[in-house]
Amino acid sequence: MEAVIENQFFRSACQALIKEDQELRDLFLDNEPLYDKQHNGICCLYETTMVYLTFKELLKNKFPLSVSWEHPYPGMPSLKADLGLLKDDQTIDSLVEFKIWTSEDGYEIRKDVEKYNRLNFDCRKYIFVVEYAGGDIVDNKNYLLVQNPEVEIVNMEQTSTFFCDWQTKQREYKSIFMYLLRMKDGVTIGKAVL
């Protein structure tokens, strides 16, 4: 994706999730106290739902590339990317994987970076990360980049939601961080020369 299109993609994904979070919070509030001991926002969503919401928002925003949900990897039709972004001739411009970052060490993101490293095809590769573990958005971004030197940050956004702490069963207003990571061109750790 070109920089302008990357920005449009990122803004659409963030917009979709922020709107969904607000709608969910309003619905949970309308149904109090039935849901006061669980997440009252997008923290209750799975990655596939986040992909669907982004897919819909891209269509609403007239995204300039065709969007393919669960798009097969080139030469590996059994392996699918969350989204394929296609040029007019239906060739792949970019692939995007979505990840909810929940582990302390970012293992789930590392798995997608390693998957991209193993596959040899020519297109842009992205990971859209949603994190609701807290901390500081810049510190967490820096940690991701140190742990995954094959990626670079395209953009990041901070919002907030009502998160339920499973131990205390109390809701807290908590930050959500969203990052768009792009695989660096020609950089593969452990398989090729940097």
Helix (H), strand (E), coil (C) string for the chain: CCHHHHHHHHHHHHHHHHHHHHHHHHHHHHCCCCCCCCCCCHHHCCHHHHHHHHHHHHHHCCCCCEEEEEEEECCEEEEEEEEEEECCCCCEEEEEEEEEECCCCCHHHHHHHHHHHHCCCCCEEEEEEEECCCCCHHHHHHHHHHHCCCEEEEEEEEEEEEEEECCCCEEEEEEEEEEEEEECCCCCCCCCCC
Domains recognised in the chain with CATH numbers: 3-183 (3.90.1570)
Q: Each residue of 164-183: pLDDT tens digit?
A: 777 877 777 788 999 999 99
Q: Each residue of 71-130: pLDDT tens digit?
A: 999 888 899 999 999 999 999 999 999 999 988 899 999 999 999 998 888 899 999 999
| Cα–Cα nearest to 118, from 156, 168, 79, 92 | 79
Neighbours of 56 (CB within 10 A): 14
Instruction: Read off the pLDDT band of 187 (50, 70, 90).
Output: low
Identify the pLDDT of residue 25.
Answer: 87
> Cα(first)–Cα(last) distance of the chain, in Å?
22
Identify the pLDDT of residue 186.
Answer: 67
Give the span between the Cα atoms of 122 and 23, in whole angstroms: 39
Instruction: Read off the pLDDT band of 190 (50, 70, 90).
Output: low
To the question of pTM greater than 0.75 for the whole model, the response is: yes
Q: Each residue of 23-72: pLDDT tens digit?
A: 988 898 888 888 777 777 888 889 999 999 999 999 999 999 999 999 99
